[in-house]
Structure 1
Amino acid sequence: MFNRLCIIGVGLIGGSIARAARSRGLAASIVGYGREQERQNLETAKRLGVIDEYFLDIVPALEGTDAVVVAVPVGAVESVFALLKPYWSNACVYSDVGSTKSNVIAAAERVFGVVPVNLVPAHPIAGAENSGVEAALPDLFLRRRLIITPLEHTEPAALNKIQIFWERIGSLVSVMSAEHHDAVLAATSHLPHLLAFALVDMLGRQDEQCEIFKYAAGGFRDFTRIASSDPTMWRDICTANKDQLIPLLHQLKTELDKIEQLLADNDGRRLFETFSYAKNARQRFLDQLEN
């Protein structure tokens, strides 16, 4: 499908894209680009066969490339666009994998003046608590949602290439606006991560005086699994999507205040109703996953 695929940021997601593309024969050659401080990670990626070659200079990294995927934390996307700008090619298709899309589009507008027609913003809704190229998996995106957020002037041919690329990887592709994407992901992904980080932060500080974690059971492990995610990545995501997250946090505070009052009033009936509604709502979510 592509002659040469360049991955900028060969970590969990970028590395998994490379592994998936290789396993499905979607690129004749796959190269990685990173900064000097990422040399060891890039050497690991090459040793593991995730990429064929790596570069610390963007010029040779882009030579002969017809597809570029930017797989860096969302806070670093603008600097990558600035790096790419002098060498931007109309013969290449560009995409990203950022967990927020409005800020990626805004970053492109600041760098280029207008979002290039061959830049197709995208977000694979997949990941793991582990980070780094050693955690990369060829089937990370298999049967997982992939959202593309094109603009009105996005080149149809570029959009089609990115959509086909992800479909051949095995993703379930949807197309929507960046604003709608950010609102949906704030509720279903970004807020849960905030909650997990906040709970473990609170209990971890108490653990300095007592043995809370020693007696935590499977429920705590399952609920807080995502607090093992990369702090830098999630700091950038939450900061970038704060306009969507802050109203949700206010709603959550209201819900917690309601439950606190039900406990104070010994109102077991309404507490049961709240828990039952939540249980049924989650079951509807699980039923959707199976269909």
Structure 2
Amino acid sequence: MINKITIIGVGLIGGSLAKAIKENNLAKVVFGFGRDLNRLEEAKKANVIDQFSINLKDAINDSDIVIIATPVGSFKEILSEIKPFLTSKIVISDVGSTKTNIASIVSQTLGDYSNCFIPAHPIAGKEKSGFEASESNLFNNRKVIITPLETSSPDSINLIQKMWEGTGADVDFMSPESHDELLGMTSHLPHMLAFSLVNYLISKNPSASIYAAGGFKDFSRIASGDAVMWRDICIQNKDQIIDHIRGYQKTLNSLVDAIENENSDELDLLFTSAKKTRDSWVG
């Protein structure tokens, strides 16, 4: 059993990981670090974490694994702050939704300790935030993508893989570039569409949401996601996100043409194809 796992950022994902580690007896101590002492105290009272501190040295000391579970825009500052307290025995990982930029930041910031950093991303979450929304089973049968760096230690990779598998997750491996391309399509683009749709609706008619049915609520649900997190994701993965938005704009133009020309065959093909694809995916 791992002696101590430190989670920097006890929010939805960090809190869910803490609960999963505790429930599955993966570590003797789950230690939380954050800037807000009151929030950490509440997380301990809720049995999300075992111990906590707002002192980074105390949080890192004697840890076997350190997980960064904060918005990706904060990584450079956090890595710089924890570097003085690192040893070659500590494995560092994250839960961030972008990977290429993180790989570059790790190389620039950690230097000789870069081999201890194993980037990872659990493909799980909710539109809610905070440890109050955390769930110990959030990662059950969900994908976790590990994107090892060229310098990554095989033993460190194995440790992070076993930790995630211990939470019930299914671990896959890919390059940081492949990860960002894939998540740009499957996660980042849909969130951009949801944010834009809600803003468009309100700009056209502020009271329109009163009459929105289930379809709009389903589609717009992820627009309730954390604004800071998604701001950082846009900046970190901007090339992929912009590319996919532009690609999607082309499909909308084709749809406009089909509707404008009353091309029933084209519309039927488009809707039938999408229905079959989604039905196959969810069922």
Relative to structure 1, is the Cα distance of residues 284 and 115 closer, same or farther in structure 2, using a 3 angstrom cutoff? Answer: farther
SS at match of 1:116: helix
How many Å apart are 1:152 and its aligned residue? 2.6
CA contact (8 A) 1:105 1:115 kept: no
The residue that corresponds to 2:202 in the other structure is 204
The 5 Å alignment of 1:59-208 reads 59-113=57-111, 116-208=114-206
Q: Which one of 212, 219, 233 corresponds to residue 216 of structure 1?
A: 212
SS at match of 1:72: coil
Q: Scaled by the length of structure 2, what TM-score is found?
A: 0.97
- Whole-angstrom CA distance in 2 between matches of 1:177 and 1:115: 20
The residue that corresponds to 1:286 in the other structure is 282
1:22 and 2:18 are equivalent in the alignment? no
How many Å apart are 1:24 and its aligned residue? 0.3
The residue that corresponds to 1:272 in the other structure is 268
The residue that corresponds to 2:239 in the other structure is 243
How many Å apart are 1:278 and its aligned residue? 1.3
The residue that corresponds to 1:55 in the other structure is 53
CA contact (8 A) 2:61 2:85 kept: no
Relative to structure 1, is the Cα distance of residues 230 and 206 closer, same or farther in structure 2, using a 3 angstrom cutoff? Answer: same
SS at match of 1:224: helix
- Whole-angstrom CA distance in 2 between matches of 1:263 and 1:248: 23
CA contact (8 A) 1:85 1:112 kept: yes
- Whole-angstrom CA distance in 2 between matches of 1:92 and 1:247: 37
Pairwise CA RMSD? 1.2
- Whole-angstrom CA distance in 1 between matches of 2:220 and 2:169: 26
1:7 and 2:7 are equivalent in the alignment? yes
AA of the residue aligned to 1:225: R
1:244-282 C-alpha deviation (Å, 9 max, x unpaired): 111111111111111111111111111111111111222
AA of the residue aligned to 2:168: G
- Whole-angstrom CA distance in 1 between matches of 2:143 and 2:49: 24
- Whole-angstrom CA distance in 2 between matches of 1:143 and 1:203: 35
CA contact (8 A) 1:8 1:14 kept: yes
- Whole-angstrom CA distance in 2 between matches of 1:206 and 1:113: 51
Q: Which runs of 5+ in 1 are unaligned?
A: none
1:88-143 C-alpha deviation (Å, 9 max, x unpaired): 11111111000001111111122124661111100000000110011111000010
- Whole-angstrom CA distance in 2 between matches of 1:114 and 1:204: 50
- Whole-angstrom CA distance in 1 between matches of 2:236 and 2:61: 32
Q: Which runs of 5+ in 2 are unaligned?
A: none
- Whole-angstrom CA distance in 1 between matches of 2:179 and 2:279: 23
The 5 Å alignment of 1:249-260 reads 249-260=245-256
Q: Scaled by the length of structure 1, what TM-score is found?
A: 0.94
The residue that corresponds to 1:34 in the other structure is 34
- Identity, in percent, stands at 43
Runs of 4+ in 1 over 3 A off after TM superposition: none
